[in-house]
Amino acid sequence: MTEKTLTPPPHTEPVVFTRDMLDWLPWLEPMAEANMTERHLASLVDAARVKSPYFRLLARDPDVLEARTHTDKDIFYNPEAGLPRAERELAAAATSRLNGCIYCASVHARFAATYSKRVDDVQRLLDEGVGARLDERWEAIVAASVALTTLPMSFGKAHVERLRKAGLDDAAIADLIGAASFFNWANRLMLSLGEPATQG
């Protein structure tokens, strides 16, 4: 039997990039909480994610979801050395801005603003896009994220040299590569399996 996609309930679609909290409405049926086995629940890693239709949809393939979640958490939350959290979030927000994932950009722009306290710079990235004037270090991080995201990829030695000049060591550059690359994963899932909606 052929399955059908879902038609989301009436909602307001966000038409600009924003730091506001958004909802996400799936186009495919998430697992019903009642039908989830221990394996499915464990794949969420955080028990609270059972309330999220996005994670209950991805839980249909629990092994991939679980591995993906642990990858995500280490790239962004591991506090040891490397790139400061604010700038990992900046790379995620810039990647999401370029790919056009309004939902992902909203989450990671909020984190970037919270951790950096540079609310105006983060908002300028959302409003103007990846060409926004920031400062040299942030522009170098955004430019590297862009070069890793566009196809064909154009990330090259000049990007590495610019980042080093801006004060990033190789551990920080590896974090940037991890964060921008990871959002090329996350953006594609968020963009293609459902749509954002404004709250309230």
- Min dist CB 119 to another protein, Å, is 20
- 186: contact with another protein by CB under 8 A: yes
| Residues 106-135, mask of contacts with another protein (x by CB under 8 A) | -----------------------x------
Give the whole-angstrom CA distance, residue 83 versus residue 148.
17
Calculate the alpha carbon distances from 189 to 6, 28, 78, 93, 195 in Å.
16, 12, 23, 15, 10
| Residues 1-40, mask of contacts with another protein (x by CB under 8 A) | -xxxxxx-----xxxxx---------xxx-----------
Cβ proximity to another protein: between 40 and 110 the closer is: 40
Contact 198, 11 (CB under 8 A): yes
Contact 108, 190 (CB under 8 A): no
Calculate the alpha carbon distances from 185 to 27, 68, 124, 163 in Å.
18, 9, 24, 23
Q: Which residues touch 198 (CB under 8 Å, ≥6 apart)?
A: 11, 12, 13, 14, 20, 22, 23
- 48: contact with another protein by CB under 8 A: no
* The one segment of 54-62, 85-93, 105-113, 115-123 that binds another protein by CB under 8 A: 54-62
- Min dist CB 117 to another protein, Å, is 26
What does the angle CA 174 – CA 180 – CA 181 come to, to the nearest 5 degrees? 85
How many CB atoms sit inside 10 A of residue 38's CB?
8
Report the candidate in 146, 23, 141 with the shortest Cα–Cα distance to residue 96.
146
Count of residues of this chain found to bind another protein when the rule CB under 8 A is applied: 70
| Residues 63-102, mask of contacts with another protein (x by CB under 8 A) | xxxxxx-xx-xxx--x-xxx---------------xxxxx
Residues that bind another protein (CB under 8 A): 2-7, 13-17, 27-29, 57-58, 60-61, 63-68, 70-71, 73-75, 78, 80-82, 98-102, 129, 148-153, 155-157, 159-161, 170-171, 173-175, 177-178, 180-182, 184-189, 191-193
